[in-house]
A and B are shown apart, each in its own frame.
Chain A
């Protein structure tokens, strides 16, 4: 490379390391954690008999200025009136905020929703196309035992100790392989499916998130007109893979809409 930095994993000379043996290459992106959060709240939903999805809740403002990749888990939820059926509790991000959009399928006057969610937001601008260069394709370099290496512990720990803390407390180590991004961006479905083309000798792990380029609006209440991206880990399809494309189709119904995606430059050999 002209300028920048690359560091190989322990036991592999950097000038011979293949892409999957790098622990750092400044030409690539990684899934850096911007914020981990817990959202625990009880709110009164303002519902309308003619349009029952009238609510959205701002979980927090991330203010990143781009739509970040994110994921979350619903740990628990309850509604004061059980007849207000909750069909889904999706979380979306736009360029400024993380939102919860409760989808309620039956009208009940002013029910309260109690919800507990944990989530993680990454500093990855998922909707801007990125493709990491393939520098040195997969080979059969075998790492050897080495006394050399480097480690940086998480400085935010209460009492960081580089000598005794477990490897999970380190932000960087030549014994740790980050999940490098091979490619990310958005893609629209065509004829009930989507096709992601890539250029890498390993069939990558792919992550999908729903992408709403026009935001989410309803006749009453919700009026988010900025593009939104849902949580990573969308599992609504079946795929097939070749050496340079991933095709995902619906399981029982046609896939439609748009998706944001991440392909990982993952370190494992060909899966075919």
Chain B
């Protein structure tokens, strides 16, 4: 190495087969960022939007914003856990559903109802979107207002893969 330190596990060889070396970059999170870069939050899952499935329509609302202010689009990981806000209600998905990347509340008949996220160089935003491509019939009302959603997010101090420029 040019400079740095190697660490070996029990029985390992720090020089030839280190378990950990400070010359190696890895996915990691800044503990001192003013906005928490990892957190577990519980938020309302959104509004009971209605869409006409015979029309092309879309409604989006912001549920939560993290101002990470890293200055570049970071690699992020999110999991979602759906919990009922009203125990007597029933929706398209079961409470207790645990998903990575997005929470699909419903899909079909030309419509989609989902909790998703977007990330840019300044913010991570969690959204609720109900949309229709106009190919269905009747209308659809989101059950989102019947739920809370727990979101566990990690914002890495590494650029998103999309911004990779090395070769």
Contact = CB atoms under 8 A, between A and B. Distances in A.
A2 interface: yes
Given A26-B9, A177-B31, A171 B24 contact: yes
Given A264-B77, A269-B40, A171 B99 contact: no
Contacts, number: 183
Interface residues of B, number: 58
A240 B164 contact: no
A37 B167 contact: yes
A182 B58 CA distance: 39
B9 to A, nearest CB: 4
A174 to B, nearest CB: 8
A73 B29 contact: no
Contact of B70 (A71, A168, A207, A233): A168
Contacts of A171: 4, 22-26
Contact of B101 (A177, A233, A268, A271): A233
Interface in A36-50: 36-38
B79 A31 contact: no
Query: Among B5, B26, B70, B158, which residue has the most Cβ atoms of chain A within 10 A?
Result: B26
A59 B126 CA distance: 34
Given A179-B154, A205-B100, A119 B24 contact: no
A271 B4 CA distance: 37
A167 B34 CA distance: 13
B146 interface: no
